[in-house]
Amino acid sequence: MKKLINNPEDVVRENLAGMAVAHPDIIKVHFEPNFIYRADAPIQDKVAIVSGSGSGHEPLYNGCVGYGMLDAACPGEVFTAPTPDQMLEAAKIVNSGSGVLYLVNNYSGDVMNYEMAAELAMSEGIRVLNIIIDDDVAVKDSLYTQGRRGVGTSVLAAKICGAAAEAKYDLKQIAELTRKVNLNGRSMGMALTSCITPQKGTPLFDLGDNEIEFGIGIHGEPGRERLPLKTADEITEMMALSIIEDSAYKRVLREWDEDKEEWTDIELIDPPLASGDSVLAFVNGMGGTPLPELYIVYRKLAEICEKKGLKIVRNLVGSYITSLEMQGCSITLLKMDDELIKLWDAPVNTVSFRWGM
Amino acid sequence: MKKLINNPEDVVRENLAGMAVAHPDIIKVHFEPNFIYRADAPIQDKVAIVSGSGSGHEPLYNGCVGYGMLDAACPGEVFTAPTPDQMLEAAKIVNSGSGVLYLVNNYSGDVMNYEMAAELAMSEGIRVLNIIIDDDVAVKDSLYTQGRRGVGTSVLAAKICGAAAEAKYDLKQIAELTRKVNLNGRSMGMALTSCITPQKGTPLFDLGDNEIEFGIGIHGEPGRERLPLKTADEITEMMALSIIEDSAYKRVLREWDEDKEEWTDIELIDPPLASGDSVLAFVNGMGGTPLPELYIVYRKLAEICEKKGLKIVRNLVGSYITSLEMQGCSITLLKMDDELIKLWDAPVNTVSFRWGM
């Protein structure tokens, strides 16, 4: 294993220490339990949004903390869910009294720990709602997931819901918006290579010299199938069509019912994309993919969207939700409307997202 | 070779095509000869800055075209200097009559071609000055270079000089500023792994499982020495001290003398960094390095700078001048003063740099 690290067990802490010293104008870091929060938190009269999953997906979520996006991010160990005490302490620091939204990616460990954290926070008088992102069309049920995994849409949800919080949406409105973003978003990924976690020290999985993993998860979880290497255009078309031709997906997600004061299963169905829809097209690198390859994919994706009657009204191209140094990419299409466009365009100032100010 | 490409010979063109369709608000792309230019070019009463080197270093320079940075970028084939016709045609499109600065990285092919382009442009009545960046302290003379190579400082020069152009510095003033940035900047890089160019299809060089190349160039050119793998802290210290303890460096660079109307060798000496200096600290990933590793390096770098009496007043952490998917990093320290800080902070709106607007 060749990495720019000291001890594998210090990677997360030293990363946070580096971020703290590099960006004191934007973030502060709390250690033990570990979380990053807005330097100016808590923000009065604003719902706080807290997210975070395993480390190794940077810049998500650490780079997303700041004005117009997340109030706090809780990084777990690499590819490991953060713990409830991280989530609880983060909520306590960023809550201004307007409540906290836990933005949760659909991995069993994350879902369970955020539920536990929400209960702990509520027992301390903090109003909390948990909303789950499950946008990966690749597989239903996976190594660490029941139902679909949460991938690229979580980046977009953090931006859009963060802007809504700045615009003074209340907690229920932000929860509703987050559900809408989740239902409007669909993703599909693939890998050319594996990655090596600092703890394991060897590749998470093996791919032959001419193989790709189609439908990969962001922790190397197996995808739909292992295929021979194809051209970028062929791979892009397969990914794009998996998303565009995906049928309505009915999921059951657990949310806190504030009236009944209990966790409740709610059924949510995302309608398929249809000709005439406006979309945000997000081409994401898995970490080790050179930027030109992402633009080669984007080029083909734009062509396919046009053919299918989808109008790309916004885009994002770059490595935002990664799997360490994995080579590969994912595509996310998020159906947009005027509200989502306005919130996407709103000013943001985090370590990795900065515009409009 | 596993890459998200179609044909190796189409990589540069398809990358440009993808950028064109993704960012029409910021850039336009010209094909044959290939270059990217500001969508709103030419800008009246503003010096135009044109740069570009071999492809494979993205987001430099393609992602640096836009308000407050470059007016045009000329991408060569991967790791190959662009041709004079690219540079000439770019200059013709972006020149508003206030002249053009060619910002040139010190590689023999680039230097030669930009000189030829300058002569062609001048013969068409465009006022042009060429300024060279040669900031790499690793080696004197290298595979593709006489003298020191141009690396990380070129990113910073593009930002700072681009802001100066917006602030209506004239051509001579921008040339003088670019010289100052070059003399104030020092860089040092290292690689954990090689990269694979689409053309060659196999690794550019071989590194053992426990080896690093210390002082690597951005095209895999050999560095100072091949060393056993060390910790991030040890590597950071070696890089930082190479820069901080570098003595005054005297170089002879060819520039156009407008009075004599001929190319003239000018001698330039950069004073060493000294305790009390303010610096911009730039930790750059070579492409395949996960962001947390860069922050682990930054953390140690900040500690060393503090010990050495260097005050970090600004920073940049990310993969900005890359070598495709190479794993490794470089450090650049740029001595700052009030003028440079003001220009660094000025608004910018390119594909990869966006702040203040």
- For A8-34, the pLDDT digits (tens) are 999 999 999 999 999 999 999 999 999
The whole-angstrom distance between A110's CA and the closest CA on chain B is 21
Q: Are strands B48-51 and B100-105 parallel, antiparallel or unpaired?
A: parallel
Residue A209, number of CB atoms within 10 A of its CB = 7
If you search the block for the tokens 């943001």, which residue do you land on? A348
Q: Is the pLDDT of residue A182 over 90?
A: yes
**What is the pLDDT averaged over residues A259-265?**
97
Nearest by CB to residue A296, choosing from B18, B235, B315, is B18
Provide the token pair at A240: 């794009």
Interface contact flag, B59 A315, Cβ < 8 Å? no
What's the pLDDT score for residue A357? 85
Please give the mean pLDDT across all residues of chain A: 97
Interface contact flag, B322 A290, Cβ < 8 Å? yes
At B357, is the pLDDT very low, low, confident or very high (cuts 50, 70, 90)?
A: confident
Interface contact flag, B291 A356, Cβ < 8 Å? no
B225: exposed, middle or buried (C-beta count within 10 Å: 0-12, 13-18, 19+)? Answer: exposed
Q: How big is the A-B interface in CB pairs under 8 Å?
A: 171
> What SS3 class is residue B61?
coil
If you search the block for the tokens 């930002």, which residue do you land on? B159
Q: What is the spatial distance between Cα A38 and Cα A28, in angstroms, rounded to a whole number?
A: 6
Residue B188, number of CB atoms within 10 A of its CB = 28
The whole-angstrom distance between B46's CA and the closest CA on chain A is 24
**What is the pLDDT averaged over residues A267-285?**
97
**What is the pLDDT averaged over residues B135-150?**
90
Q: Is the pLDDT of residue B342 over 90?
A: yes
Q: Is the pLDDT of residue A115 over 90?
A: yes
CA closest to B16 among chain A residues:
A295
**What is the pLDDT averaged over residues B131-156?**
93
DSSP string, A257-306: ETTTTEEEEEEEEEPPP-TT-EEEEEEEE-SSS-HHHHHHHHHHHHHHHH
Q: B68 CB near a chain A CB, below 8 Å?
A: no
At A222, is the pLDDT very low, low, confident or very high (cuts 50, 70, 90)?
A: confident
Task: Name the B residues in 7-36 with CB < 8 Å from any A CB.
Answer: 11-12, 14-19, 21-22
What's the pLDDT score for residue A144? 84
What's the pLDDT score for residue B169? 98
DSSP string, B265-313: EEEEEEPPP-TT-EEEEEEEE-SSS-HHHHHHHHHHHHHHHHHTT-EEE
- What is the Cα gyration radius of chain B? 19
Q: Is the pLDDT of residue B225 over 90?
A: yes
At A220, is the pLDDT very low, low, confident or very high (cuts 50, 70, 90)?
A: confident
Catalytic residue annotation of A: 57, 219
What's the pLDDT score for residue A312? 98
- Which residue of B1, B4, B36 to mutate against A (max A Cβ within 10 Å)? B4
At B223, is the pLDDT very low, low, confident or very high (cuts 50, 70, 90)?
A: confident
CA closest to A62 among chain B residues:
B292
Specify whether the CB–CB gap between B118 and B131 falls below 8 A.
no
Residue B83, number of CB atoms within 10 A of its CB = 17
Residue A146, number of CB atoms within 10 A of its CB = 15
Specify whether the CB–CB gap between A161 and A184 falls below 8 A.
no
**What is the pLDDT averaged over residues A236-241?**
98
For chain B, percent of residues with pLDDT exceeding 90: 96
What's the pLDDT score for residue B250? 95
- Region of B68 (left: φ > 0; alpha: ψ -120 to 50; beta: rest) is left
Q: Is the pLDDT of residue A52 over 90?
A: yes
Q: How far is CA A193 from the centre of its chain?
A: 21
> Measured between beta carbons, which residues in chain B are less than 8 angstroms from residue A294?
4, 18
Q: Looking at the DSSP assignment, which residues form a beta bridge with residue B253?
A: B266
What's the pLDDT score for residue B280? 98
CA closest to A4 among chain B residues:
B232
pLDDT tens per residue, range B226-247: 999 999 999 999 999 999 999 9
> Measured between beta carbons, which residues in chain A are less than 8 angstroms from residue B6?
231-233, 296
Task: Name the B residues in 97-126 with CB < 8 Å from any A CB.
Answer: none
**What is the pLDDT averaged over residues B312-322?**
98
Q: Which long-range contacts does B198-204 make (Cβ < 8 Å, 24+ apart)?
A: B198/B1, B198/B3, B198/B5, B198/B8, B198/B11, B198/B78, B199/B8, B199/B9, B199/B77, B199/B78, B201/B1, B201/B8, B202/B1
Backbone angles phi, psi at B277, to 5 degrees: -70, 145
Residue B322's nearest CA partner among B347, B274, B351, B285 is B285
CA closest to A231 among chain B residues:
B6
> Measured between beta carbons, which residues in chain A are less than 8 angstroms from residue B353?
none
**What is the pLDDT averaged over residues B343-354?**
98
**What is the pLDDT averaged over residues B305-325?**
98
What's the pLDDT score for residue A344? 98
pLDDT tens per residue, range A310-344: 999 999 999 999 999 999 999 999 999 999 999 99
Q: Looking at the DSSP assignment, which residues form a beta bridge with residue A317?
A: A283
Specify whether the CB–CB gap between B177 and B161 falls below 8 A.
yes
**What is the pLDDT averaged over residues B124-150?**
93
Q: Looking at the DSSP assignment, which residues form a beta bridge with residue A329?
A: A190, A285
pLDDT tens per residue, range A82-108: 999 999 999 999 999 999 999 999 999
The whole-angstrom distance between A305's CA and the closest CA on chain B is 12
What's the pLDDT score for residue A223? 87
> Measured between beta carbons, which residues in chain A are less than 8 angstroms from residue B5?
231-232, 293, 296
Amino acid at A84: P
Q: Are strands B328-336 and B278-285 parallel, antiparallel or unpaired?
A: antiparallel
CA geometry: angle B244, A4, A9, nearest 5 deg:
125
> Measured between beta carbons, which residues in chain B are less than 8 angstroms from residue A292?
11-12, 15, 18, 55-56, 58
Q: Is the pLDDT of residue B141 over 90?
A: no
Q: What is the spatial distance between Cα B135 and Cα B155, in angstroms, rounded to a whole number?
A: 11
pLDDT tens per residue, range A144-173: 888 999 999 999 999 999 999 999 999 999
At A139, is the pLDDT very low, low, confident or very high (cuts 50, 70, 90)?
A: confident
> Measured between beta carbons, which residues in chain A are less than 8 angstroms from residue B229?
2
Residue B133's nearest CA partner among B270, B328, B329 is B270
Residue B8, number of CB atoms within 10 A of its CB = 16
Task: Name the B residues in 285-314 with CB < 8 Å from any A CB.
Answer: 287-299, 302
CATH 3.30.830.10 applies to domain B187-245+274-338 = no
Catalytic residue annotation of B: 57, 219
**What is the pLDDT averaged over residues A191-206?**
94
Interface contact flag, A298 B193, Cβ < 8 Å? no
Provide the token pair at A104: 């949760």
**What is the pLDDT averaged over residues A278-295?**
98
Q: What is the spatial distance between Cα B307 and Cα A168, in angstroms, rounded to a whole number?
A: 45
CATH number of the domain located at residue range(s) A11-186+247-270+340-355 in this protein:
3.40.50.10440
Q: What is the spatial distance between Cα B259 and Cα B261, in angstroms, rounded to a whole number?
A: 5
Residue A344's nearest CA partner among A353, A74, A302, B27 is A353
Q: B68: Cβ–Cβ under 8 A, 6 or more apart, which residues?
A: B159, B162, B163, B166, B346, B347, B348, B349, B350, B353, B356
What's the pLDDT score for residue A123? 98
Interface contact flag, A289 B11, Cβ < 8 Å? no
The whole-angstrom distance between B99's CA and the closest CA on chain A is 30
Domain locations in chain B? 11-186+247-270+340-355, 187-245+274-338
Backbone angles phi, psi at A118, to 5 degrees: -60, -40
Specify whether the CB–CB gap between A18 and B252 falls below 8 A.
no
Nearest by CB to residue A293, choosing from B5, B19, B231, is B5
**What is the pLDDT averaged over residues B3-16?**
98
Question: Would you call the peptide bond into A33 cis, given omega within 30 degrees of 0 as the criterion?
Answer: yes
Task: Name the A residues in 256-285 with CB < 8 Å from any B CB.
Answer: none
**What is the pLDDT averaged over residues B213-221?**
92
**What is the pLDDT averaged over residues B157-166?**
98
Interface contact flag, B2 A209, Cβ < 8 Å? yes
Q: B330 CB near a chain A CB, below 8 Å?
A: no
> What SS3 class is residue B72?
strand
**What is the pLDDT averaged over residues B191-214?**
94
Task: Name the B residues in 198-217 with CB < 8 Å from any A CB.
Answer: 209-210, 212
Interface contact flag, A291 B58, Cβ < 8 Å? yes
Q: A247: Cβ–Cβ under 8 A, 6 or more apart, which residues?
A: A272
Residue A237, number of CB atoms within 10 A of its CB = 16
The whole-angstrom distance between B357's CA and the closest CA on chain A is 5
Interface contact flag, A293 B2, Cβ < 8 Å? no
The whole-angstrom distance between A159's CA and the closest CA on chain B is 16
Residue A130's nearest CA partner among A253, A17, A237, A248 is A253
Specify whether the CB–CB gap between B290 and A287 falls below 8 A.
yes
What's the pLDDT score for residue B57? 98
What's the pLDDT score for residue A140? 86
Note the helical H segments in chain A: 11-22, 84-94, 108-123, 153-166, 171-184, 232-244, 291-307, 338-345
At A132, is the pLDDT very low, low, confident or very high (cuts 50, 70, 90)?
A: very high
What's the pLDDT score for residue A162? 98
Provide the token pair at A194: 């594996």
At B222, is the pLDDT very low, low, confident or very high (cuts 50, 70, 90)?
A: confident
pLDDT tens per residue, range B15-67: 999 999 999 999 999 999 999 999 999 999 999 999 999 999 999 999 999 99
**What is the pLDDT averaged over residues B73-83?**
98
Interface contact flag, A4 B329, Cβ < 8 Å? yes
- Which residue of A10, A284, A295 to mutate against B (max B Cβ within 10 Å)? A295
Task: Name the A residues in 69-98 with CB < 8 Å from any B CB.
Answer: none
The whole-angstrom distance between B130's CA and the closest CA on chain A is 27
Q: Is the pLDDT of residue A282 over 90?
A: yes
Q: Is the pLDDT of residue B139 over 90?
A: no
